[in-house]
Amino acid sequence: MTDALLHKARVHYEQRFGKPAALAAFAPGRVEVLGNHTDYNEGYVLSAAISCGTCFVAGRRSDSACVIADAMHPDWETRFAADNPAPVPDPAWSNYCRGVWAKLGVPPARRTGFNGVIASNVPMGAGLSSSAALEMSTALALQALYRLRKEPLELAKIGQAAEHEFAGVKCGLLDQITSLFGKADSLVLTDFRTLAVETVPLASHVCLLVCNTRVKHALVDSAYNERRASCEAAAAWFRERLPHPVRHLRDVSMVEWEEHAAAMPATAAKRSAHVIGENERVLRGAALLRDGRLDRFGRLLFDSHASSRLNFQNSCPELDFLVDRAARTPGVLGARLSGGGFGGSCVALVEQDQAAAAGATLARAYDAEYGAPCTVLELRPADGARLVLPGP
C-alpha cells in the first residue's frame, strides 16, 4: 500500500515540477483501541498505527516559494512564502502543512522554499486521523530536507501546535504519537502525563475491523468541549475532598469514585466514572495482552463502549447498533466506538480467520438497518512514520 502511494506521489511530482523529488516520507493514520477521552485527562491510551497513511515527497527550490500539490486531487494546490506561512480559509488541508513548516523553525540561512506533493489513502471522516498522517509526513520530509534534528516527541508537539494554531483544532497528542511510534503487530501504550510510550504485542491470530458509520452529528465540537469541561470540573471537585493531590481524573481511583459519587453533581459523576474506568481498563488491558488473554481483553472493549454510551454519552444509535451486532457475530471478541464519538467508527477485535465474514455480516446488517453503506476496513497494526526515500 505504501509503495503504490509513493509511486503516485513521485510521478505527480515529476509531472508538476519537471524533475524527481529529493526525498519522501510516509506517516500512518491511527485507530484508538482502548482509552476514550483519557488523553487530555493525563491518562492512558492503547492505540495502533494502521497501514493507510500519507506520503509527502519534496525537493528544495532556489527561491522562497513553498508549493504543495495533492496527487489524489490534481486541482488542489497551495502556495505560500517561506517566511509567511499564514493559515488560510481555503484549501483548509494546507493549514496542517503550513503550521508544521512554521513550527519546525528552519534557520533563516537555510530557509529557501520547497516543492511538495502529498498522496493519502486514509479514509476521510472515519476517525483514523488523516490530519496527523499529513502533519507527521510533512514534518519528517521537511526535517530531512532542511537537515534538522528533532526528537519524535518534539515532532508530535509540532503537529499538535499546527492543529491548534493553524487548523483551529484543540487536539491532544494521541494521533501524532501513535503515527510516529507505531510498530507492526503491536499496540501503542501511551501515558499522557509523562508521555512515556511503549508497545504491547498483539497476537497474530487476531486483527482489527474498523466500521465507519459515515455519521457526523452536528454540534460535535460543543459536545466535546462540554465533556472536557465536565472532566475538569469533576477533577476540581475531587481535589477539594481527597487527601492526596488531584491534578486530573487520572489521579482518582474507582474506589474513591465509588466512595464519593453519591455526593457529586450527577453529570460530573457520570463523566468522571467513564474516564476513571477507562484508565483502569487500559492498564488492565495491556496486562491481558501481554498474557495472551484476548477473550478478556475483548470484553474490556465492550465494557468501554457501555461506559461511553451510559456515562460519557458520546455514542450514537448507529455506533450502538454496530457494537450490539458485533457482540452477536462469530469471531468478534470485542467492539467499541473509537475516537471522539458522536458518530464516526467503531473498532472490533476479531479472529483473523473469521474477519472477512464478520466484516461482511456487519456491513449487511448496517445497510439493512439504515439503508446506507457501512465501510469496513480489516487492519493489522503497522509501523510508524518513516522516511521512504533517502534525504540529500
Question: What cell numbers appear for 205 in the block?
Answer: 491470530
The reported pLDDT for the residue numbered 343 is 87
- Higher pLDDT residue, 323 or 122? 323
Domain presence at residue 308: no
Domain presence at residue 115: yes
Domain presence at residue 162: yes
Question: At residue 247, what are phi and psi to the nearest 5 degrees?
Answer: -90, -40
Domain presence at residue 368: no
CA 334 to chain centre: 20
Domain that holds residue 113: 2-202
Question: What cell numbers appear for 125 in the block?
Answer: 471522516
The reported pLDDT for the residue numbered 95 is 95
Of all residues in the chain, the percent with pLDDT exceeding 90 is 86
260-318 pLDDT per residue, tens: 999 999 999 999 999 999 999 999 999 999 999 999 999 999 999 999 999 999 999 99
What is the number of domains present in the chain?
1
Give the whole-angstrom CA distance, residue 373 versus residue 368. 9
The reported pLDDT for the residue numbered 341 is 86
Any idea which of 163-172, 254-263, 317-326 has the lowest mean pLDDT? 163-172
Residue 197: is it exposed, middle or buried by C-beta count within 10 angstroms (0-12/13-18/19+)? middle
50-89 pLDDT per residue, tens: 999 999 999 999 999 999 999 999 888 999 999 999 999 9
The reported pLDDT for the residue numbered 268 is 95
**Is the pLDDT reported for residue 219 higher than 70?**
no
Give the whole-angstrom CA distance, residue 21 versus residue 142. 12
Domain presence at residue 297: no
Q: Is 183 left (phi over 0), alpha (psi -120 to 50) or beta?
A: beta
Return the half-sphere exposure (C-beta side, CA atoms, 13 A cut-off) of residue 303: 20
**Annotated active-site residue in 39, 175, 251, 303:** 175
The reported pLDDT for the residue numbered 344 is 87
Residue 70 appears among annotated catalytic residues: no
pLDDT band at 218, cuts 50/70/90? Answer: low
DSSP-assigned states of every residue in 339-386: SS-SEEEEEEEEEGGGHHHHHHHHHHHHHHHHSS--EEEEE------E
Hunting for cell 472515519 — which residue is that? Answer: 126
The reported pLDDT for the residue numbered 157 is 97
Residue 335 near residue 353 (C-beta atoms within 8 A): no
106-137 pLDDT per residue, tens: 999 889 999 999 999 998 777 788 999 999 99
Of all residues in the chain, the percent with pLDDT exceeding 70 is 98
Say which residues have a Cβ less than 8 Å from residue 328's Cβ, sequence separation at least 6: none
331-388 pLDDT per residue, tens: 999 999 998 888 889 999 999 999 999 999 999 999 999 999 899 999 999 999 999 9
26-35 pLDDT per residue, tens: 999 999 999 9
Residue 178 near residue 47 (C-beta atoms within 8 A): yes
Domain presence at residue 375: no
The reported pLDDT for the residue numbered 368 is 97
Say whether 181 sits in a helix, a strand or coil: helix
Domain presence at residue 138: yes
Give the whole-angstrom CA distance, residue 221 versus residue 85. 26
pLDDT band at 221, cuts 50/70/90? Answer: low
pLDDT band at 319, cuts 50/70/90? Answer: very high
> Average of pLDDT values for 161-172?
88
DSSP label of 84? B
- Higher pLDDT residue, 364 or 223? 364
Q: Give the torsion sign (CA, 263, 266, 268, 274).
A: positive
- Higher pLDDT residue, 219 or 240? 240
**Is the pLDDT reported for residue 1 higher than 90?**
no
DSSP-assigned states of every residue in 204-240: TTEEEEEEEEEEE-TTHHHHHHHHHHHHHHHHHHHHT
Give the whole-angstrom CA distance, residue 132 versus residue 118. 13
Any idea which of 188-197, 224-233, 383-392 has the lowest mean pLDDT? 383-392
Output the domain CATH number for residue 80.
3.30.230.10
The reported pLDDT for the residue numbered 123 is 83
The reported pLDDT for the residue numbered 200 is 98
End-to-end CA gap in the chain? 25
pTM above 0.95, yes or no: no
Domain presence at residue 283: no
Question: At residue 332, what are phi and psi to the nearest 5 degrees?
Answer: -85, 125
**Is the pLDDT reported for residue 220 higher than 80?**
no
Give the whole-angstrom CA distance, residue 387 versus residue 144. 8
